[in-house]
Structure 1
Amino acid sequence: MTRNDRKLDELRRRIPTFRCIDGCRDCCGPVTASSEEMARLPIKTEAEHAAALVEWSCPHLGPSGCHAYDERPLICRLFGTTPRLACPNGCRPERMVDEQTEREVHAFLRQTRQVLV
């Protein structure tokens, strides 16, 4: 396990979770992720990526929501857990992510090579 994999696991544990509205897609769209995050996502074809981009969507998004929810990238995990990335439907965890964790997530994203999901 690489240093980035360990940091990714640590940050994922520190981001609080909450229940989204079933089938909600309001926060989903094209995002970037690190190589370590991409390695954990199901492989999608170039055609699936292209079709999602045309729809300004994510290739892991299906009719009932995210098909890769358990392995979703850090940026997706932050949505709804911080006032800066608030859920448009008002969903949120009991306790929002602490500012230090949010800063560390953004630092991780800046320090790792990001690719379009």
Structure 2
Amino acid sequence: MRRSDIDARLAELYAQVPQPNCKGLCADSCGPIDMHPRERQRIRARGVTIPHHDNALDQAARDGGYTCPALKDNRCTVYTDRPMICREWGAVEAMACPHGCRPEVGLMSDQQGALLLHESLSIGVAQTEVIEQRRRKLAQRFADPEFRQVYQDYVRQRRPRQQ
């Protein structure tokens, strides 16, 4: 798949995420993330290398913390090229901004956020039956209120504590 096609598909997916009225107070929420290789490539072209989430988790365990390399003075230096997971921060139920920033249209459901993230990570991957099975399983999981609660609790427990 061509870069321009990937960029166009990512833009379509990004447009589905309602953006909160950001106050710029969420730098403490930035942590190890995964992203599509094209998102990583665009960020690298801006002079920032964000480590693969496994490496970032290793660093956090080793050093006792992790700071996203894109942050400077608590602001994202690659904001316009930020990956899907960062765009979903403050826009998805389980990732609601602790500072009160909310999209005017309301928060997306966790299922919607998970499906968009899955779509962004799957761009350019052959649409095999395995991928479709994963999509269906994800949709089934989020249809279960008990799973949604476990998911929200998991995300909230890993959110950095306010000082």
- TM-score normalised by length of structure 2: 0.55
How far apart are the structure 1 equivalents of 2:66 and 2:74? 17
Q: Check whether the contact 2:31–2:68 (CA below 8 A) recurs between aligned residues.
A: yes
State the alpha-carbon separation in 2 of the partners of residues 45 and 107 from structure 1. 22
Alignment of 1:78-93 (within 5 A): 78-93=88-103
Q: Deviations over 1:31-72 (max 9, x none)?
A: 1211111122123369xx98x865412110111411111111
Higher relative contact order (CA 8 A, sep 6+): 1
The one of 58, 65, 68 equivalent to 1:58 is 68
Give the Cα separation in 2 of the matches to 1:110 and 1:71.
15
Q: Which runs of 5+ in 1 are unaligned?
A: none
Largest Rg, 1 or 2: 2
More helix per residue: 2
Q: Does the CA contact (< 8 Å) of 1:15 and 1:101 recur in 2?
A: no
For structure 2, the 5+ residue unaligned runs are 125-163
CA-CA distance at 1:109 after TM superposition = 4.7
Give the match's secondary structure for 2:102: coil
8 Å Cα contact 2:88-2:95 kept in structure 1: yes
Structure 1 position 95 matched with structure 2 position 72: no
Q: Number of paired residues?
A: 110
Distance 1:86 1:98, change over 3 A: closer
> Aligned AA for 1:73?
P
Match of 1:44 among 41, 48, 59: 48
> Percent of pairs identical after alignment?
32
Greater strand fraction, Structure 1 or Structure 2:
1
